[in-house]
Chain A
Amino acid sequence: MASSHGTPPVFNNKVVAWIDHRLPIFSYIEKEYHTFPTPRNFNYFWNFGAIATVMLVLMIATGIVLATNYTPHVLMAFDSVERIDRDVPQGWLIRDLHMNGASFFFIAVYIHIFRGMYYGSYKAPRELLWILGVVIFLLMMATAFMGYVLPWGQMSFWGATVITNLFSAIPIVGESIVTWLWGGFAVDNPTLNRFFALHYLLPFIIVGVVALHVVALHVHGSNNPTGIDPKGPQDTVPFHPYYTMKDGFGVMVFLIVYAGFVFFAPDYLGHPDNYIPADPLVTPAHIVPEWYFLPFYAILRAIPDKLGGVLAMFGAIAVLFILPWLDTSRVRSCTFRPIYKWFMMFLVVDVIVLGICGSKPPEGFWVPLSQLATLYYFAHFLVVLPILGKIERPLPLPPSIADSVLKKKAV
């Protein structure tokens, strides 16, 4: 049944052939996931797309089971989560998988984003592929935020209060928007209800955008560590079995680390305050979001003006949308960009510094540090990228992917 790329596959199984003649799903799978020509030189950074997909499926599967046992009411939500933990058979497992799954989904996606930035995967002709990825990232953030509100602990409640209040910074209509978001005049039962509804809805929209992301990916195929296009069959391997097996191995390793947290430190990435039931009359000493939002939280607080902070925070993500046009370099991969490579690494350090700043109370030297880190974050995209692309002298590119692989082997 296998066929080389380009010729339509012939199916020996009569049922498969009958269906495929009418609805070519088997041809599609054959073409896109079997014979699909994929650069032969991926490193393990290329596992994280598959890993993120596995996490998305896992989050939806565990989430549906949790939803069947959860009660979205301000008086019952906290206890219903504890009931899942205590009284639902294996409920603790489903909940621990889901709450740590959010963190590990973000870990996979952050590494995936880093991969895309380091190897220039966003550059022509993959701009829309990249933009769809940023849309997925935004949808994930919204979903994760609303999911964190559902247990209705102190951080749930106060996190929801702080984040929804950001919209009040919008001139004139801000207050009305906040009231509309809350469904009332405070974060209360209507807020919890709509967050639950949206938390259930958005993952399926993510699935839709992921499908578009994959369609866009399969038009020009994957980028690769050299950033140069495959020039012929010697540069590629069929997706299956080469990358299905490599991704399978990567997924297993990732799941081992994930399982380590789920089974041996399930609350390590959470905040103890969220085990205190929500109390609108008691504000926690430090309101902090989940770790994966901390860099953006730091940017929000780095600007002394509320509207400015909100704009900077959203701007930090908006800038990713125009990344393909900010980068003026002809070369995709940082492997061949001797100067930008270090700026890229510095951006990683910068984001980590922002994350640490975001977890600290906004006082003392954390304030100027987060301001400095915010400044670099934007300078990286808006100043370094456009200018460096013009003045940097890239290293000579290898003539082909196969050539670079064979040369590495010879060394």
Chain B
Amino acid sequence: MRKPFARNLLVSGAIALASFTVGTVAIAAGGTEHPPHRHWHFQGPFGTFDRAAAQRGFQVYQEVCAACHSLSLVAYRNLTELGLTENQVKGLIKDITVTDLNDEGAPVDRPARPSDRFKKPFPNQAAAAAANNGKAPPDLSVIVKAREYGPDYIYGILTGYVPYDKLTPAQIKEFDVKKDDNFNKYFPGHKIAMAPPLSDDKVTYADGTKATLDQEAADVTEFLAWASEPHMEDRKRTGVRVILFLIALAGMMYAVKRMVWADKH
């Protein structure tokens, strides 16, 4: 999710020499473009998920992404954490049937329950690969944590397609782009198997928000960021309390230490 170089800066303390910075920039320039940084509602030490955006993002996932991408670690009941009521969740899944075994051990279809994990679009990896030119579309459960630049990358991919006729001859030559290929500015190697999934008015938002490509991409990224780490808000809230507690305790320890040492200095 973070740049390895930034991590090394931290690890190496303040002694990251200027020459290395120059070297890194020079190397990075030769590869794929970095996705531009966007501000996300969930960023920063106090950032929270934008519930409305994440709910819209769920709609985008459900109506568009779910045709190919599973979200196998998330259960329908988890949607209540996004502000949906239990009845709303039950309403959302009333038409979904899942395969299960009955008491005699025979496979049967039954209506989905809130405790079920999101239904996968394909019965298994091989079927997913067979339906998608030999490579299964990745599961999206932790996708935001599983890519460098995290949400910026997801948003970048969704909005970073360049039509064949907008490519420069140099690009076509360098990356060996064919007319049927999908060219994406932010995908490593640029040629991506996924056709542009989103476009203006691909969905009709229930809350009346205008469904531009940008809006859809930002919303589904917000949703997937939540799916990747549903407890993020809890983590930050706990962190504030823990750190305040530790600072108070450290202050007390310092005072005690000063008192104890008073006669030795």
Question: A residues engaging B (CB < 8 A)?
Answer: 40, 79, 82-83, 85-86, 92-93, 96, 237, 241-242, 245-246, 248-249, 252-253, 255-256, 259-260, 262-264, 266-269, 271-273, 275-277, 285, 288, 291, 294, 348-349, 352, 355-356, 359-360, 364-366, 409
Tell me if B27 counts as interface (CB < 8 A to partner A).
yes
Q: What are 30 A-B pairs at a CB distance below 8 A?
A: A40-B264, A82-B142, A86-B73, A92-B229, A242-B260, A245-B253, A249-B254, A252-B246, A252-B250, A256-B250, A259-B239, A263-B236, A264-B239, A266-B235, A268-B1, A269-B10, A271-B4, A272-B1, A272-B147, A275-B145, A291-B7, A291-B8, A352-B12, A352-B13, A352-B15, A356-B12, A359-B5, A359-B7, A364-B23, A409-B265
A268 to B9, CA, bound (A): 12
Q: Given A242-B261, A245-B253, A256-B246, do A263 and B8 touch, yes or no (CB 8 Å)?
A: no
The interface residues of chain B lying within 8 Å CB-to-CB of A366 are: 23
A277 — which chain B residues lie within 8 A by C-beta? 139
6 cross-chain pairs, A with B, having the tightest CB-CB distances, nearest first: A263-B239, A275-B146, A252-B250, A249-B253, A352-B12, A245-B257
Given contact pairs A256-B243, A355-B11, A365 touches B146 in the complex (Cβ within 8 A): no
For the complex formed, measure the closest distance between the CB of B81 and the CB atoms of chain A, giving whole angstroms: 11
Q: How far is the CA of A40 from the CA of B261 in the complex (A)?
A: 10
B67 at the binding interface (Cβ < 8 Å): no
| Contacting pair B7 A259 (CB below 8 A) | no
Cβ–Cβ contact A268 & B7, under 8 A? yes
Q: Which residues of A contact B235 (CB under 8 A)?
A: 92-93, 96, 263, 266
B227 — nearest CB in chain A belongs to which residue? A86
The answer on a CB contact under 8 Å between B148 and A259 is no
**Nearest residue in B to A282 (C-beta to C-beta)?**
B135
Known: A82-B141, A249-B257, A259-B243. 8 other contacts (CB 8 A): A40-B264, A86-B231, A92-B234, A249-B254, A263-B235, A269-B10, A356-B20, A364-B27
Q: How far is the CA of A273 from the CA of B231 in the complex (A)?
A: 21
Give every chain A residue within 8 A of B8 (Cβ-Cβ): 291, 294, 355-356, 359
With the chains together, A79 CA to B147 CA distance in Å? 18
Inter-chain contact A268/B2, CB cutoff 8 Å:
yes
Q: CB-CB < 8 A to A269: which residues of B? A: 7, 10-11
B230 within 8 Å of A by Cβ? yes
Nearest CB of chain A from residue B14's CB, rounded to whole Å: 10
- CB-nearest residue of chain A to B143: A275
Contacts of B20 in A (CB 8 A): 356
A66 to B191, CA, bound (A): 40
Q: Are the C-beta atoms of B250 and A249 separated by less than 8 Å?
A: yes
A253→B11 CA distance, assembly (Å): 18
In the complex, the number of residue pairs spanning A and B with C-beta atoms less than 8 Å apart equals 125
Are B1 and A267 in contact, CB atoms less than 8 angstroms apart? yes
Closest approach, in angstroms, between the C-beta of B87 and any C-beta of chain A? 23
- For the complex, give the distance between the alpha carbons of A356 and B147 in Å: 21
Q: What is the interface of chain B, defined by CB distance below 8 A to chain A?
A: 1-2, 4-5, 7-8, 10-13, 15-16, 20, 23, 27, 45, 72-73, 78, 138-139, 141-142, 145-148, 150, 188, 228-231, 234-236, 238-240, 242-243, 246-247, 249-250, 253-254, 256-257, 260-261, 264-265
Whether A259 contacts B242 in the complex (CB less than 8 A), given A266-B235, A409-B265, comes out as: yes
Q: How far is the CA of A277 from the CA of B150 in the complex (A)?
A: 17
Main SS class of interface, A: helix
Nearest Cβ on chain B to A60's Cβ, whole angstroms: 20
Q: What residues on B are CB-neighbors of A263 within 8 Å? A: 235-236, 238-240, 242-243
Query: Within 8 Å CB of B146, what residues of A?
Result: 272-273, 275-276
- Which residues of A sit under 8 angstroms from B150, Cβ to Cβ? 272
A365 & B23 in contact (Cβ 8 Å cutoff) = yes
Is there an interface contact between A252 and B249, defined as CB atoms closer than 8 Å? yes
Are A245 and B142 in contact, CB atoms less than 8 angstroms apart? no
Q: Are A237 and B264 in touch, CB under 8 angstroms? A: yes
Question: Within the assembled complex, what's the spacing in Å between the Cα atoms of A10 and B23?
Answer: 67
User: In the assembled complex, which residues on chain B have CB atoms less than 8 Å from the CB atom of A248?
Assistant: 253, 256-257
Cross-chain contact B239 with A359 (CB below 8 angstroms):
no
In this complex, which of B16, B20, B138, B240 has the most chain A Cβ atoms within 10 angstroms of its Cβ? Answer: B20
Q: Is the CB of A349 within 8 A of B27?
A: no
Distance of A203 from chain B, by nearest CB (Å): 23
Minimal beta-carbon separation of B193 from chain A (angstroms): 14
Nearest Cβ on chain B to A286's Cβ, whole angstroms: 8
Distance, CA A79 to CA B236, complexed state (A)? 24
Q: How far is the CB of B240 from chain A (nearest CB, A)?
A: 8
Q: Which residues of B contact A266 (CB under 8 A)?
A: 235
Nearest A residue (CB) for B46: A264
Q: How far apart are the CA atoms of A364 and B26 in the complex, in Å?
A: 11
- Measured in the bound complex, the distance between the Cα atoms of B72 and A409 in whole Å is 65
A272 vs B151: C-alpha distance in the bound complex, in angstroms?
Answer: 12
> Are B239 and A262 in contact (CB-based, < 8 A)?
yes
Q: In the complex where A249-B253, A267-B145 touch, is A256 in contact with B247 (Cβ < 8 A)?
A: yes
Instruction: Note all chain A residues with C-beta closer than 8 A to B254.
Output: 249
- Cβ of B79 to closest chain A Cβ, rounded Å: 13
Contacts of A86 in B (CB 8 A): 73, 78, 230-231
The CA-CA distance from A279 to B85 in the complex, in Å, is 38
Chain A contacts for B7, CB-based, 8 A = 268-269, 291, 359
* A263-B239, A267-B2 known; A246-B261 Cβ under 8 A: yes
**CB-CB under 8 A for A356 and B16, given A92-B231, A259-B242:** yes
Contacts A249-B257, A272-B1: A255 and B238 contacting too (C-beta < 8 A)?
no
In the complex, what distance in Å separates the CA atom of A33 from the CA atom of B241? 32
In angstroms, Cα B119 to Cα A284, docked, is 28
Q: How far is the CA of A79 from the CA of B1 in the complex (A)?
A: 19
Residues A85 and B11 in contact, CB atoms below 8 Å apart = no
A263 to B232, CA, bound (A): 9
